[in-house]
Amino acid sequence: MGPSGPGSRGPACADSSGVLLVRKSKAKPNGKKPAAEEKKMYLEPEYTKSRITDVGFKELVVLPREIDLNEWLASNTTTFFHHVNLQYSTISEFCTGEACQTMAVCNTQYYWYDERGKKVKCTAPQYVDFVMSSVQKLVTDEDVFPTKYGREFPSSFESLVKKICKYLFHVLAHIYWSHFKETLALELHGHLNTLYVHFILFAREFNLLDPKETAVMDDLTEVLCSGGGRGGGGGDGASGGGAGAQNHGKER
């Protein structure tokens, strides 16, 4: 099985244990009040307009004729993993245990659970390491993401892709929420916006992300993904709770 999407499967990440599993908790993150009213620089028009290409991603994500659905999902999911990993690496030196003591996005905090279901208290960089290591293990597993001719995808493949997309979304959202200033200073916000649009429209095309999961970034999604991913107004904006959905503190 050869890659049929933009990019191919490949580079390894740091080795950590962990599984693609998330559960909700009722405790407040660090006992601190979330910065709900903090100004979101990434929503400023001068920055949301920035892209590295003007291609219409809404058309690009559609399943091509003669391409197997699972193959299309596998190729694109692997490519998104590599790009999100690369995008995070550009600001990883700023995402430290001291600066990001929790994996937070707006009023939401994400927790990691190990293979035994035990809650792991970790910083944002540790959480991202768990995500990248677990996804790397999956996309290089021939029993899950087969690359050899004649190998079949497992019956659980779509659900695994959904879990991967959920975790990649967490990483992208954290970059916007906690590290957009650094991304801006590096002049990589156009790359980040382009990646976010492509990823969200692909996930939306194949129902890979629960709207409740992505509600925390609905305001950004509305701005970036309206107009088929070209940054226009109206039309294909995000569905769901919108910016108002961010007014309630929660943990996952």
Please give the annotated binding residues for Zn(2+), written as ranges.
95, 100, 174, 179
- 113 phi and psi, to 5 degrees? -125, 135
User: Between vectors from CA 112 to CA 186 and to CA 119, what angle results, nearest 5°?
Assistant: 150
- 119 phi and psi, to 5 degrees? -70, 130
User: Between vectors from CA 63 to CA 169 and to CA 238, what angle results, nearest 5°?
Assistant: 40
What span, in angstroms and rounded, lies between the C-alpha atoms of 106 and 248? 9
What span, in angstroms and rounded, lies between the C-alpha atoms of 104 and 140? 28
DSSP three-state, residue 105: strand
The helix, strand and coil proportions of the chain, stated in percent and rounded to the nearest 5, come to: 45, 5, 50
